[in-house]
Structure 1
Amino acid sequence: LQQQSNDHSLSNNFNVSQGVAVHRFTSEFEPLERLGKGAFGSVYKVRDKKLKIEYAVKVGCYKEKSLREVRTLSDLFHRNIVRYYTFWMQDTGYEWDLRDDSYDSYASSHHEGNSESKFLYIQMELCAKNTLRDWIDEKNKESVQDSKRREESLRIAQEIVCGVEYIHSKNHIHRDLKPANIMFGVEGEVKIGDFGLVTSDDDDEERTVCKGTPSYMAPEQVRWKYNRKVDMFALGLIFFELLWKLSTGYERAKVRFTAVILTTVHMHGVIIYQ
């Protein structure tokens, strides 16, 4: 494929591992913007070329456990969960460096010397660019704790609870609830996303430990024996941030430390989160 000159949509800019291949991502969608990048790969804002509808597409290197996220998303349909549409796998990856319109090293590093590498594409609902983390940070810039913040926080908290309750009703544990993984829909409704660490809530299942974001992780996650209640620990920390002005990571760390101490005390002979 030949890159079009002066075409900043980069719709034909992709990495081909062997020869020339038709790339579903760029043949069906027009990439508009990279919304985020992490260890998983990248998330792009795209427009369907035929439907003229905008979506989000998550692109990452395929691993067997990657399908766990897809299976979970396909099992969830709720107002407060990011909606899943479809997925596909490709031999080629797509990386768009916004600074110089070149490939990111992520794609090449997963293909170099490994012709069997696969990439997973997950098409999802497009949410607002700002996350709950951004919302909290903006509120923390205000000089006082006004009643409007509390009213808005109550609405947001109720919607998060509805989403988490639904996730648990489907026998899943999110394991990575945090403000950065909570987004907003077109009408301002809460949308829980990023199910990359989701697991089933099976009492007999031996789980991996220390999975999640340390600053929101429940203390029992250092052991393999834990259940959906770890999501409730994260919820408590999120609610505290919604209602109180915690402007620094140090202040948030102090809150978590106190919560861990109290939880650990209760865990000795007492059932927690009851």
Structure 2
Amino acid sequence: MLRTIHFHRVSYIFIYKLGSGKSVLKVRIDMKFGNSFPSTEVLTDQVTQEMSDNISQLQSQKFDWKNYKYSSGSDRIKQLLHSQLDKAPSVDDTLPRTVYESVKFSLPGRYEVIQVLGKGSYGTVCSVRDKKNPSNPYSIAVKKITNIFYREILLKRAIRELKFINYFRGHKNIVSLIDIELVTEKPYDGLYCYQELIDYDLAKVIHSSVQLTDFHIRHFFYQILCGIKYIHSADVIHRDLKPGNILCTLNGTLKICDFGLARGVAPKYFAANQSRHDITNYVATRWYRAPELILSQKMYDKSIDMWSAGCILAEFYGRKPKFMGKDSMHQIYEIIKVLGSPSKKLLSSFGSIKAWNMCNSATPPHKKVEWRDIYPFACPDAIDLLDRLLRWEASDRLKVQESIEHPFLNEVRHPEDEPICPWGAFDFSYEENLTSMQRLREYLINEVSQFKEERNCKLSTPHVYKNITIIEEPEQL
């Protein structure tokens, strides 16, 4: 069936504008939705080509770049952030709540579930529409995190996610959080995060069959770096950058999401935490994980995000992940096959058993393979940028600003799109007191309340909903 996607009001300030002043606010998609995201075939044949054409227009047409770009400068960003508070509806409502039994969702009566977008161990994601505003029926994505009060790791990730998305709100390349609520009525209990609905993730775009030109890749990669710059300027590292955590609209706008693993790198944070950061198996999905996360016992820094960015750039050209390790050490050997064997001096500096074993291995060293031999169709500037991002030595990798200034991006670069976070370094001192499950629960409740107070909403937390109507799962479109 034919469906119209309406961009949420929160993101209106981020929409591209043609020189004539006509805003690109709506996109019509002719497709049939299944139980999850549209299939790669549907995305390829009917959507990705339109996305590709939209991006190509940026190259072929003369745009009014002042209107096309959203703003510049810290003061302007602050102004935009405050103006957003009145644009998005609150989830709180006097109407009865409606429960969707098959997905264990409980929503205010004004919202209707349209589509189940995905399910995982963390919970469920659905798209919903606001029935209270039929004249403006834009869609919202609702992510429900289940078992939030009983699993420490979920509590910590939820708190981080809320704090970071709220802290970074306003940048066009970082996903926006519209509202949040805690539901305690079983079996619908959980943390409900209301976010702007984005069409696809970057993985679906990369793995489609539509040709991506150098201009497309420049356009996408520049936005990723602008988002990273904003994050790094707050002394935060994302730690889980990958195409699946970068959302993509049909007009080609990218938005970084999933801040549940993000951490701080501010000097005062290091001073208060002399021990090594908690590097666990889930930090940075393996294929995008910097080698020092696997081999080193020392502190890591923002360069791990730049390694991940380099992996994404390689994936644009290869249309699949370049380093596809089956486990941690196999991941290292996949890297060795391309970058060559690391020096014994570097391995010794890592200070781990794994690095020591590699240093004393009798295996003959591998020689480096040139990126131009791997991707002969890539332009020389892209090859050079790849080479300077994907290096064994973290200190040898380009920093985000250096990457933005690389000649590869000259054609798409606009400095007014490269602001830094106006709030300065993120303060992680709140974590010092979160030493028990009870304190984590209390802190999450307080975060939800504080977020809603900033939106001038009244929230009684915890809230147990009594007036519930049971209906079946919505018909899949």
Quickly say closer, same or farther: Cα 1:243–1:261, change in 2 above 3 A.
Answer: closer
CA–CA distance in structure 2, aligned partners of residues 263 and 89 of structure 1: 50
Partner of 1:243: 317
Amino acid at match of 1:74: N
Quickly say closer, same or farther: Cα 1:93–1:272, change in 2 above 3 A.
Answer: farther
Native 8 Å contact 1:81 1:191 kept in 2: yes
Partner of 1:4: none
- Which sections of structure 2, spanning at least 5 residues, go unmatched? 1-96, 149-153, 350-392, 399-477
Partner of 1:213: 285
Partner of 1:90: 183
Quickly say closer, same or farther: Cα 1:264–1:196, change in 2 above 3 A.
Answer: farther
- Greater CA drift, 130-139 or 231-240: 130-139
Amino acid at match of 1:156: F
**Cα offsets for 1:223-255 (capped at 9, x unmatched):** 462122111111000001112344898599699
| TM-score, scaled relative to structure 1 | 0.72
2:123 is the alignment partner of 1:41 = yes
Partner of 2:233: 169
Native 8 Å contact 1:219 1:260 kept in 2: no
Among residues 197, 205, 209, which one is paired with 1:126 in the alignment? 197
Q: SS at 1:167's partner residue?
A: helix
Partner of 1:232: 306
Partner of 1:12: 99
Partner of 2:416: none
Q: SS at 1:170's partner residue?
A: coil
Q: Report 1:1-274 matches (<5 A).
A: 11-14=98-101, 25-51=107-133, 52-61=137-146, 62=148, 63-65=154-156, 66-76=158-168, 77-92=170-185, 119-128=190-199, 130-139=200-209, 148-203=212-267, 204=270, 205=273, 206-210=276-280, 211-222=283-294, 223=297, 225-246=299-320, 257-258=335-336, 265=343, 267=346, 271-274=395-398
Q: Which runs of 4+ in 1 moved over 3 A?
A: 245-256, 258-270
Q: Counting helix residues as a fraction of each chain, which structure ranks higher?
A: 2
CA–CA distance in structure 2, aligned partners of residues 218 and 157 of structure 1: 19
CA–CA distance in structure 2, aligned partners of residues 263 and 228 of structure 1: 23
Quickly say closer, same or farther: Cα 1:176–1:54, change in 2 above 3 A.
Answer: same
Native 8 Å contact 2:176 2:195 kept in 1: yes
CA–CA distance in structure 1, aligned partners of residues 192 and 185 of structure 2: 10
Superposition CA RMSD, Å: 3.3
- Which sections of structure 1, spanning at least 5 residues, go unmatched? 1-9, 18-22, 95-106, 108-117
CA-CA distance at 1:195 after TM superposition: 1.6
| TM-score, scaled relative to structure 2 | 0.43
Q: Percent identity?
A: 27
CA-CA distance at 1:90 after TM superposition: 1.1
Quickly say closer, same or farther: Cα 1:200–1:25, change in 2 above 3 A.
Answer: farther
Quickly say closer, same or farther: Cα 1:262–1:201, change in 2 above 3 A.
Answer: farther
CA–CA distance in structure 1, aligned partners of residues 179 and 291 of structure 2: 35
Native 8 Å contact 2:220 2:252 kept in 1: no
Quickly say closer, same or farther: Cα 1:91–1:194, change in 2 above 3 A.
Answer: same
Q: SS at 1:157's partner residue?
A: helix
